[in-house]
Chains A and B, each alone.
Chain A
Amino acid sequence: GAGVSQSPSNKVTEKGKDVELRCDPISGHTALYWYRQSLGQGLEFLIYFQGNSAPDKSGLPSDRFSAERTGGSVSTLTIQRTQQEDSAVYLCASSSPEVQLFFGSGTQLSVL
């Protein structure tokens, strides 16, 4: 597709379970970002990948959160031992470096 694709679009899980969220960036975009949007809050930066450089993980809220980007393309955000406060919309974006960000539609995560 032409845009950033995220899956699943909705995920309901039980507290304590692990979840994986997937992001397919726009072809050719070397930069990939993960943001989190909680109800009534602005977007919160989580992690940034740029080419083969070490990712900027400074926004990850705890060590339960991790992300990887394989082959410079697809990225997976993993949340281990989910907590209710992890419930949010997780947004992925991609761009050519330092140019406009294109966001996906997000994954709505609900932790019961």
Chain B
Amino acid sequence: TQLLEQSPQFLSIQEGENLTVYCNSSSVFSSLQWYRQEPGEGPVLLVTVVTGGEVKKLKRLTFQFGDARKDSSLHITAAQPGDTGLYLCAGAEGGSNYKLTFGKGTLLTVNP
């Protein structure tokens, strides 16, 4: 069974600060996805990274896939209260997208 470890589990910061969330595994994934989930809602896909070493930017969010495709990071610049939520990483096995392995998530709180 492939496992994804996310750290930190909880993060509380002030508006304007930068932060990085990590997603690590001993296994190789064909692709890795990052989701954000708000209370009472399902996860919403933010980005998919496929190539080792790939970097993708989404406004103030920067996603990186490790060279060996075993780990990933999410960096948020100048965090805002609207960034508050549960951030989940999910890895896809082999060539299939459907049986995703999810990490337990990082609960981010951005205080105004």
Chain A, Cβ-Cβ closest to B89: A42
Chain A, Cβ-Cβ closest to B42: A103
The answer, among A31, A42, A45, A56, for a CB contact under 8 Å with B104, is A42
A106 within 8 A of B: yes
Chain B residue numbers with a CB within 8 Å of A43 are 43, 88, 90, 100, 102
Within 8 A of A (CB), among B65-105: 88, 90, 96-105
| Majority-rule SS of B interface residues | loop
Contact A41 B104 (CB under 8 A): yes
Number of interface residues of B (CB under 8 A): 20
Given the interface pairs A104-B42, A105-B42, the reply to whether A42 lies near B88 with Cβ below 8 Å is: yes
Contact A33 B98 (CB under 8 A): yes
Chain A residue numbers with a CB within 8 Å of B42 are 4, 91, 93, 103-106
Q: Report Cα–Cα, A54/B111, bound state, in Å.
A: 48
Chain A residue numbers with a CB within 8 Å of B99 are 45, 48, 56, 58-59
Number of interface residues of A (CB under 8 A): 26
Contact B102 A42 (CB under 8 A): yes
- Of A43, A50, A100, A104, most B-chain CB atoms within 10 Å: A43
A40 within 8 A of B: yes
A101 within 8 A of B: yes
Chain B residue numbers with a CB within 8 Å of A58 are 99
Question: Would you give 16 A-B contacts (Cβ < 8 Å), ordered by A?
Answer: A4-B42, A33-B98, A42-B4, A42-B103, A42-B105, A43-B43, A43-B90, A45-B100, A58-B99, A91-B42, A98-B97, A98-B98, A101-B97, A103-B42, A105-B40, A106-B41
Q: What are the 8 closest A-B residue pairs judged by CB atoms, nearest first?
A: A103-B42, A42-B102, A43-B102, A42-B104, A98-B97, A48-B98, A105-B41, A42-B103
